[in-house]
Amino acid sequence: MTVFGVQFLHPWYLLAALAVIPAVWWAHRSAGRVVFSSLAALPTESTWRTRLAWIPDALVAIAVLSLCVALAGPRRGQRDSRVRTEGIAIAMVVDISGSMRALDLSERDRELTRLDAVKRVFEQFVLGGGGLRGRADDAIGLVSFARYADTRSPLTLDHGNLVAAARALELVTEQSEDGTAVGEGLALAVERLREAPMRSKVAIVLTDGVSNAGEIAPLAAAELARDAGVKVYTVGAGTNGMAPIRVDDPFGGQRLVSTRVEIDEETMRAIAERGGGQYFRATDADGLRRVYREIDRLERTEITEIKFLEYDQFYGWFVVAAMVAVALALGLRGTVLRRLP
């Protein structure tokens, strides 16, 4: 609630001002009285004391009103306090095809599939950590793709739910759903970003393979991004050639085998070029983190807005006014404006 530029933090306390009526009544009736057998015994001429007898009661009313206003929390924002924030719209497009099962992005002390490594670094990219600052002011969404593309999280500032959605990503297990439809994933991300009100919009496409599925060609999706004003970064995750992968064996356990993997870097570069971004290569977990750090550095849009983070608080003045009014009321009532007991 704002009145004449002053904001009240707890405006409902102003209703307590109704207590003025019983307070004044009590102050007026609280003094002692003398019973006379006849009004004729009273003096008929008024004096300055009788004419000013109402002042202590009025001071009590002022004290109650001042305390009510103080409880309401009057304050005024410092309008010259300008805060610079940074906010853009980012769509993360993650490959969840079967080849993301490879273990070549594992850390020294922990075995990770490519998808596991991507999820860990994406979480640090969003929340901060591992040398990344986090993207607290950005609206970020998540799209996954294999043969088909799905929105896992819309663009949101609720990064807790976004990270939960990223953690829930799993590799496809059905052969009919496996594949790498880069164009489908990027096109879906562009559609989600098109609706965002931010001026700066970015899609980050991460894949470890060759586009071999989908009705939308990767370069056609890159042109859609360019027309929509979406900058596209592409990331090739993993090694080329042979990579270890864990598979089930006939005896119910698992074993490591080497499988051939390949990244279509030429297409990834072409997508980034048409999308006005860059192509990055990450062959290990640290390299993947460096890629995100570089994107984090490049994509910072400064926005200046007025935020009332600092306030001039006025409640103290009203507390002092109430104390002074009560002191004056008691002082006057006990001295020059005292009533007969």
**pLDDT one-digit tens code per residue, 207-253:** 987 888 889 999 999 999 999 999 999 999 887 777 777 777 666 67
Q: Give the torsion through C-alpha atoms of 80, 83, 89, 95, to 10 deg.
A: 180
**107 secondary structure, DSSP code:** B
112 token code pair: 């990770």
The 3-state DSSP class for residue 303 equals strand
d(CA 131, CA 117): 15
CB burial string 268-285: b at 16+ within 10 A, e below: bebbbbbbebbbbbbebb
Give the whole-number percent of the chain exceeding pLDDT 70.
79
Pair 111, 170 in one domain: yes
Helix (H) or strand (E) run with residue 201 in it: strand 201-207
Domain identity same for 70 and 191: no
Domain count, the chain: 2
Asked whether residue 312 falls in the same domain as residue 177, the answer is no
Structure tokens at 1: 């609630």
The per-type count for the chain, helices as H runs and strands as E runs, is 10, 14
Percent of the chain whose pLDDT exceeds 90: 31
Q: What is the tens place of the pLDDT at every residue in 102-144?
A: 888 887 778 888 899 999 999 999 998 888 888 888 899 999 9
Residues 132 and 268 in one domain: yes
Contacts of 32-36 spanning 24+ positions with Cβ under 8 A: 32/339, 32/340, 32/341, 33/339, 33/340, 34/340, 34/341
Nearest to 160 by CA among 186, 182, 134: 134
- Model confidence pTM above 0.75: no
Q: Which domain holds residue 325?
A: 2-32+47-80+308-334
Residue 285 vs residue 34, higher pLDDT: 285
Q: What is the mean pLDDT of the chain?
A: 81
Query: 55 with 111, same domain?
Result: no
Residue where the block lists tokens 């304050």? 75
Report the CATH number at residue 281.
3.40.50.410
Whether 148 and 249 map to the same domain: the answer is yes
Quote the tokens at residue 124.
């640090």
Copy the structure tokens of residue 318: 């009203």
User: Is 339 within the bounds of a domain?
Assistant: no
In this structure, the answer to whether residues 205 and 120 fall within a common structural domain is yes
Q: Is 90 exposed, middle or buried (0-12, 13-18, 19+ CB in 10 A)?
A: buried
Q: Are residues 161 and 282 in the same domain?
A: yes
* Half-sphere exposure (Cβ direction) of 204: Cα atoms closer than 13 Å: 26
Q: State whether 226 and 133 are in the same domain.
A: yes
171 with 273, same domain: the answer is yes
Domain shared by 319 and 283, yes or no: no
